[in-house]
Amino acid sequence: MSIPDTWHHGLVAEWWAHFNTEGPEIEYLGARVADAQPVLDAGCGTGRLLVPWIRAGLDVDGCDASTDMIRLCRDRARREGHDPTLFVQALHELDPPRRYGAIVVCGVFGLGSTRAQDQEALSRLLRSLEPDGVLFLDNEVPYANERMWARWAKTERDALPTDWSDDDEWRRAPDGAEFLLTSRVLSVDPLDQCVQLAIRAEKREHGEARIEHWQLSMRLYFRDELVLMLERAGFGSVRVEGAYTGREPTPDDHSLLFIASR
């Protein structure tokens, strides 16, 4: 099997569709973009944000780098009687069919991409906004995961790769199928601020089992670094909040929300 740039395909996409359906960002960001329509959910996955927003009456399109994610998102939307505009594009290749009052990039920036591609993605996001448009981009800080942060040290890196995680549990989907995702850390490059993970996805259904192996790269950014990248892309102003709180960020925030105006 050829390994794509990210693991958001196949059984992983199915797991996402069944189990990754909630989060405070749905309501929080939905309220923020309601007055800035139309909206693009860039990296929409299987519709965790997009479908509730359409259900609430928002004019929202979606794109994702994964064909499987888009297919599952479309299926979910159609089950509720909606047929949104969805298209397959990576952020650094973004060329949408229209311009938007707001673009949301939630949980996907830096996945499966190079630093140059991430900078290009910000430039394309800017060009995809209307003249007074706003970008909402969240980003997990590099030190959010204490165990992963410790692996930036040489002694920890020398012990890589890790074994497969053994604390994950099988989860049952509404249709009765069972899924298990396990992972291990392959490498950490603190100079390049990049982590490589291996993902194993398993599914049991009707007495049969499937296993798929994927890889994922995660490129990590600090607050001021990402602010500079947004400014270099041409955004006129950038504000940073503790994610989904509306307040100033603190060192204890695991995720930050960057609000960048064209």
Delineate the domains of the chain, giving CATH numbers in brackets: 10-142+221-261 (3.40.50.150), 146-218 (no CATH)
∠ CA 82-51-255, rounded to 5° = 165
How do residues 40-74 score in pLDDT, each as one tens digit?
A: 999 999 999 999 999 999 999 999 999 999 999 99
Which residues, 6+ apart, have CB-to-CB distance to 56 below 8 Å?
30
What was the pLDDT predicted at 5?
52
Cβ(102)–Cβ(37) under 8 Å? yes
What was the pLDDT predicted at 165?
85
For residue 145, the 8-state DSSP code is: S
What was the pLDDT predicted at 249?
96
Please enumerate, as own/partner, the contacts of 117-122 that have beta carbons within 8 Å and a separation of 24 or more.
Answer: 117/90, 117/91, 117/92, 118/91, 118/92, 118/219, 118/221, 118/229, 119/229, 119/232, 119/233, 120/92, 121/90, 121/91, 121/92, 121/94, 122/229, 122/230, 122/232, 122/233, 122/235
What was the pLDDT predicted at 168?
82
Question: Which residues of the chain register pLDDT less than 50?
Answer: 1-4
Strand partners, 137: 105, 258
Return the H-helix or E-strand segment holding 104: strand 100-105
* Type of residue numbered 21: T
What was the pLDDT predicted at 1?
34
Report the 10 Å Cβ neighbour count for 193.
17
Q: What is the dihedral of CA 78, 30, 88, 115, to 10 degrees?
A: -160
Output b/e per residue, 12-49; b: 16+ Cβ within 10 A. Answer: bbbbbbbeeeeeebbeebbebbeebebbbbbbbbbbbb
> In degrees rounded to 5, what are phi and psi of residue 75?
-60, -45
CA distance 26 to 136: 12
What was the pLDDT predicted at 60?
98
Six-digit token string for 10: 């196949």
Inter-CA distances, 78 with 8, 111, 114, 137, Å: 21, 28, 34, 27
- Give the DSSP per-residue string, 188-220: EETTTTEEEEEEEEEEEETTEEEEEEEEEEEE-
Report the 10 Å Cβ neighbour count for 116.
9
Cβ(222)–Cβ(141) under 8 Å? yes
What was the pLDDT predicted at 243?
86
Number of residues that this document lists for the chain: 262
